[in-house]
Chain A
Amino acid sequence: MTTEAVASSAPPGGDHHHDSGHHGPEFLAHHFDTPVQQFDAAKLGMWLFLAQEVLFFSGLFVAYAVFRNWYPAAFSVGSHLLDWRMGALNTVVLLLSSFTAAMAVRSSQQGNQKQTSTYLIITIVCAFAFMVVKYFEYSHKIHVGILPGSLWNPTAEGLEEVKAAAATSYVGEGLPYHIRTFFGIYFVMTGLHGIHVLVGIGVFIWILKRNMRGEFTREHFTAVDISALYWHLVDLIWIYLFPLLYLID
């Protein structure tokens, strides 16, 4: 008659490791068996997080679809109030940053620490540039009172802009009431996207610091890889936002 189940016949010693000796490199956390397992888990985790992000933004896209369908004229005029050149510039900037983020992963895989830093810095600079452009767009809209919902209160200059925008849109004349709904959606969508860009900047600065400390090697570049994944999603969302908001006929 035994007194304990098999697995519970614990060696009473203070050794925290199970089968001491076989545990791998320093970066391998205690609960993983192999670096590959650790890498795969992190990558899967990031993909799941990205799925979550897509659904988070999906609500906004549904709201966009509903209201564009309800108020096509307002969306047309609202879109013409946005400067497509600014949007296009930001699109190019983000695409470039996505490319450099991917290159950062590549050079980190090759163990090229210096090159990784360079690419990361370019990525961060691009992200900043994006936010600067966004800042000019936002501050102008706020300045002329083109704001969402009951905050809608255009100045004389703002009204001129609205009239000009209406003239270039298919609406021609008149001032669709629901432009304010368009700007509600515009500010929320681009605002949330902007917050994601800011988070991305923070993440890449952190990654850059770690890279300069030499934490990443040919065998261990997980953090660079999954941060770039996140950044591609932020880029991808903008790829949808740009035409949907700036390029309505």
Chain B
Amino acid sequence: MAGEHTDLNYLNHERGIKSWLLTLDHKRIGIMYLVSVMIAFALGGVMALLVRTELAFKGETMMEADTYNQVFTLHGAIMVFLFIIPSVPAALGNFFLPIMLGAKDVAFPKLNLASYYIYVLGTIFTIVAILVGHVDTGWTFYTPYSARADSSVVWMTMGVFILGFSSILTGVNFVATVHKMRAPGLVWTRLPLFIWGIYATAVIQVLATPVLAITLFLLAMEKVLTIGIFDPQLGGDPVLFQHFFWFYSHPAVYIMILPGMAVVNELIATFSQRKIFGYMFVAMSSVALALLGFLVWGHHMFTSGMSEYATMVFSALTFLVAIPSGVKVFNWVATLYQGSISLASPMLYALGFIALFTIGGLTGLFLGTLSVDIHLHDTYFVVAHFHYVMVGGTVFGFLGGIHYWWPKMTGRMYNETTARWAFALVFTGFNVTFFSQFVMGSQGMPRRYYDYLDQFQPLHMTSSGGAYILGVGFLVMTVMFIQSLRSGAQAPANPWASAGYEWQTTSPPHPHNFAVDPEMTRGPYDYHLCTDEELFDGLRAPEEPAAEHAA
């Protein structure tokens, strides 16, 4: 019984491995997801380092071309399906969505645990495909090659199919939770922007992922039954596969980036100690991105033989995406203005996000322009753009979120100085790796190639060097977090003096999130309405927050 604990929390109220594996507590499930996606991230990261090592020098460096094809495929598939898609929603979202709603759990806790095990099952399929097979199609599985390649492609696609259902069920759960589980007083206009972002993501997860599922199912059927839908030899249409694939995978880009943006909202507000500028615009821009995301898939296929009219429409719609993205960046910067800014490590990631996402977003417009895309299509420019959005955006948001909520999740503080060093390494390494790829791409270096011309040698070398800096940065961060778990100082309830709802419970939270059912009487960014008690950071006497950096 938990009776003897005076500091009852979700970590100590039950013990033993079974209490974790069979838990219905969204916080524990969130932690299990967090550990799993971090393992996937490490695996995908090793693959990335192998790719960059091979490319550091011309010709064969350490593996054959055939192996290289498999390694970049695994890098892409692991990072996209096993890491980025579940990263923020399934890990941080699971942990914080119910808390920020003032709920005791998600609407369907059993379904939540089932999603986790479906994720594990999908991962097993994927790993089996890696171990026994020979998957070298790239993460996009384009037909007709994928329909004729090694049969382990079927295992891999089945793995991704299963992972898709994990994602769908998580989405169903979150949408229902946001609609039905809000605490009294938590009207939609008071919803934390993290919730708005996760909510928009969940809608895409529910509506887009099934299309990927049926696409991969058809691909598997193409191989097993040769139904002749995608293989031109049987009268099928490979471009149809691309339409299907991108009908999911463009919205999937928003499944990946919206949660990153969602985290950044919280970071910017907390570390500026200020209400988010234009709250409703930021909230609605998430919804707009989710909807627009469904209308632009054709921009991946400008060179695939679509009709010219279709390409024009897709290009124009793609430009529209810039509007809600721009709204977000504008509002974040406007929130910083006259805020009382603290440059704590989570905030560094948030600012890094804004800078890198802006570069990633603007280069997206290059690619959305028909004439320019003819030149840049399938070059390193696309690779760099994608990584600026996905790593500079999502991963930075995710890391910022982990730093920010670490004290809440684990009840421990981490070493801030080390955290800043890790950030410096990650930020530098990232830019060195991928900025050089923008340059190479604009000069015509094709993506996925095993070898290259002499002229690209220096830039490839630079990019690989950057990848190693990035790797060291992650290593430092890992050591820092492990150290925090072992010997970090006890975290107070609200170390960042945030007005966010989740900081009003203990660190780590009570098994039911709040010891007393909360009732929201103010918004999550209403610093002017907070009592000193609510903003007390546990370190110093309550006072007007941070003077040093005030503008």
A residues lining the B interface (CB < 8 Å): 1-14, 16, 18-19, 29-31, 37, 40-42, 44-45, 48-49, 51-53, 55-60, 62-63, 66-67, 70-71, 147-151, 177-178, 180-181, 184-185, 187-188, 192
Which of chain A's residues have a CB closer than 8 A to the CB of B108? 41-42, 45
In this complex, which of B6, B208, B221, B503 has the most chain A Cβ atoms within 10 angstroms of its Cβ?
B221
Cβ A151 vs Cβ B5 within 8 A: no
**Docked complex Cα distance between A79 and B105 (Å):** 51
Give the interface segment out of B127-135, B337-345, B431-439, B510-518.
Answer: B510-518
Residue in A10, A41, A49, A67 whose beta carbon sits within 8 Å of that of B181 in the complex: A41
B41 within 8 A of A: no
Contact A41 B235 (CB under 8 A): no
A149 and B533 form a contact (CB under 8 A): no
Q: Which B residues are in CB contact (< 8 Å) with A5?
A: 493-494, 503-505, 533-534, 536
What are 21 residue pairs bridging A and B, where the CB atoms are less than 8 Å apart in the complex? A1-B542, A18-B512, A18-B515, A19-B516, A30-B104, A31-B181, A41-B108, A44-B175, A48-B175, A52-B210, A55-B210, A58-B211, A58-B214, A62-B240, A70-B237, A147-B225, A148-B227, A150-B234, A188-B218, A188-B221, A188-B225
CB-CB under 8 A for A49 and B172, given A7-B504, A31-B103, A148-B228: yes
- CB–CB B505/A7 < 8 A: yes
Given the known A-B contacts A48-B172, A177-B235, are A184 and B225 also in contact in the complex, defined by CB atoms under 8 Å? yes
Q: Residue of B at shortest CB range from A178? A: B235
Complex contact A2–B214 (CB within 8 A): no
Q: How far is it, in angstroms, between the C-alpha of A40 and the C-alpha of B107 when the chains are bound? A: 10
**Closest residue to B534 on the A side, CB-wise?**
A5
Cβ contact within 8 Å between A44 and B176: yes
Residue from B2, B172, B211 in contact with A45 in the complex, judged by beta carbons closer than 8 Å? B172
Beyond A41-B180, A180-B228, is A8–B505 a contact (Cβ under 8 Å)? yes
Closest to B107 in A: A41
- CB-nearest residue of chain B relative to A4? B493
Of B2, B221, B234, which contacts A181 at CB under 8 A?
B234
Partner of A7, one of B2, B207, B222, B516: B516
- Is the beta-carbon distance between A8 and B506 smaller than 8 angstroms? yes
| Contact A56-B179, Cβ < 8 Å, known A10-B510, A45-B108, A181-B228 | no
Q: Is the CB of A7 within 8 A of B518?
A: yes
A49 to B210, CA, bound (A): 10
Contact residues on B (Cβ < 8 Å of other chain), bracket: 35 or more
| Contact B533 A59, beta carbon cutoff 8 Å | no
CA distance A148 to B227 in the complex (A): 5
Please give me the residue from chain B that is nearest to A183 by CB atom: B227
Contact of B225 among A7, A59, A187 (CB under 8 A): A187
Contacts of B179 on A, CB cut-off 8 Å? Answer: 41, 44
Bound Cα distance from A32 to B304, whole angstroms: 51
Indicate with 1 or 0, residue by residue over B438-475, a CB within 8 angstroms of chain A CB atoms.
00000000000000000000000000000000000000
B3: CB under 8 A from chain A? yes
Chain A residue, CB-CB nearest to B237: A66
- Asked if A63 and B234 make an inter-chain contact with CB atoms under 8 angstroms apart, the answer reads no
Contact A18 B516 (CB under 8 A): yes
Asked whether any CB of chain A lies closer than 8 Å to the CB of B200, the reply is: no
Residues of B with C-beta under 8 A to A42 = 107-108
Given contacts A14-B1, A149-B234, contact A8 B504 (CB under 8 A): yes
Instruction: Return the contact of B2 from the options A14, A151, A184, A188 (Cβ within 8 A).
Output: A14
Rounded to whole angstroms, the CA-CA distance of A56 and B207 in the bound complex is: 9
In whole Å, how far is B513's beta carbon from the nearest beta carbon of chain A?
Answer: 9
On whether the beta carbons of A187 and B8 are closer than 8 Å, the reply is: no
- Among the listed A10, A13, A44, which residue makes an inter-chain contact with B180, where contact means beta carbons less than 8 Å apart? A44
- Contact partner of A12 (CB less than 8 A), chosen from B5, B177, B181, B229, is B5
- The verdict on B321 contacting chain A, using a C-beta distance below 8 Å, is no
Question: Which residues of A have CB within 8 Å of B6?
Answer: 12
Asked if B157 is an interface residue, CB under 8 A from chain A, the answer is: no
- B508-551 vs A: 1/0 string, CB under 8 Å? 00111011111000000000000101101010011000000000
Chain B residue numbers with a CB within 8 Å of A56 are: 210-211, 213-214
